[in-house]
Amino acid sequence: MRKRQDRFYSPGRRRIGDLMFSLSNTPIDTDALKRLVNTPEAGAYVAFEGRVRENNEGKKVTALEYEAYEELAVKEGKKILQEARKLDILKAHCVHRTGPLKIGELAVIVVVSSAHRKEAFQACEFIINEIKKRVPIWKRESYADGSTAWVNCAHGHDAEHAHGREERGQLKTTECGHDHIAKGARS
Amino acid sequence: MSTSTIKTVRVDYFALLKEQRGLASESLQTECSTVLELYEELQKRYGFSLRHTSIAVALNDEFADWSRVLCESDKIVFIPPVAGG
């Protein structure tokens, strides 16, 4: 195990823009995001892309819409990225879509760079899990049978504050081609 | 009710609550003293299906406890179970 590199923690060193959380009502430019986390110190880059899946709990999904409480969503998203800094990463950005989305479309992307791959994998998984749990964003699904539902709100009115469901996930890295779908987000 | 002062507050609704209320935001006068009292009053009035134990609440764009006391011009947002990602 290498030692924590304190130079990454000095407040003067970290530039504004190394951590960014935002919402977008238009398609996400993934290449631009990947360039933003590029830095000569980074030996690893990991991205999680959550996409709109065509089914949920056995029902065929035909359309989907995200709604966000923007002021608090951005605040909470930034807080999560700040928390991820403890994992010794260099840069982390996340963009979440709002509005209507089609099947297969990118709903959320988390990109992380770090000196070595372990920290980038861990931070990427931490960030997406916390976003699903804490950020005030809601998903309304329309189904092939004509019904609609706000996911996690429809049944179990007594359920504790529910966690998000898993999207079909893709995780990529320049060091390792494994498919690491984020675990532990399901309540 | 600990105080009977009438306050004007703003309430924003999202997702299922917006659907059940039929609007996204309203300004209302209330004698409720805490955010919990306010939710329970609105739940009764508009038939919200979610109990307060399933949701969270934000006061002036920060997560808050249900026991927080309401003040004039406060902005309250009730937060149904989230489903981002």
Q: Which domains does chain A have, with CATH numbers?
A: 16-173 (3.90.1170.40)
Q: Are the C-beta atoms of A93 and A19 separated by less than 8 Å?
A: yes
Taking CB atoms and an 8 Å limit, are A108 and B84 in contact across chains?
A: yes
Report the chain B residue with the minimal C-alpha distance to residue A49: B85
pLDDT digits (tens, 9 = 90+) for B55-82: 999 999 999 999 999 999 999 999 999 9
Label residue A182 by pLDDT band (50, 70, 90).
very low
Distance in angstroms (rounded) separating the CA atoms of residues B76 and B33: 13
Cα A123 from chain centroid (whole Å): 10
Q: Is B50 on the interface with A (CB under 8 A)?
A: yes
Q: Is B1 on the interface with A (CB under 8 A)?
A: no
Among A24-33, A91-100, A177-186, B63-72, which is the least confidently predicted range?
A: A177-186
Would the pLDDT of A177 be above 70?
no
Amino acid B4: pLDDT: 67
Question: What is the reported pTM?
Answer: 0.82
CATH topology of domain B7-79: Ubiquitin-like (UB roll) (3.10.20)
Element (H, E) at A79: helix A70-84
How many Cα atoms sit within 13 Å of A76 on the Cβ side?
23
In angstroms, the Cα distances linking A160 to A26, A42, A97, B19 are 32, 40, 25, 21
Nearest to A72 by CA among B19, B76, B21: B76
3-state percent helix, strand, coil for chain B, nearest multiple of 5: 25, 30, 45
Chain A residues whose C-beta sits inside 8 Å of any chain B C-beta: 50, 66-69, 71-73, 75-76, 96, 107-108, 128, 131-140, 150-153, 156-162, 164-165, 167, 185
Evaluate whether ipTM surpasses 0.90.
yes
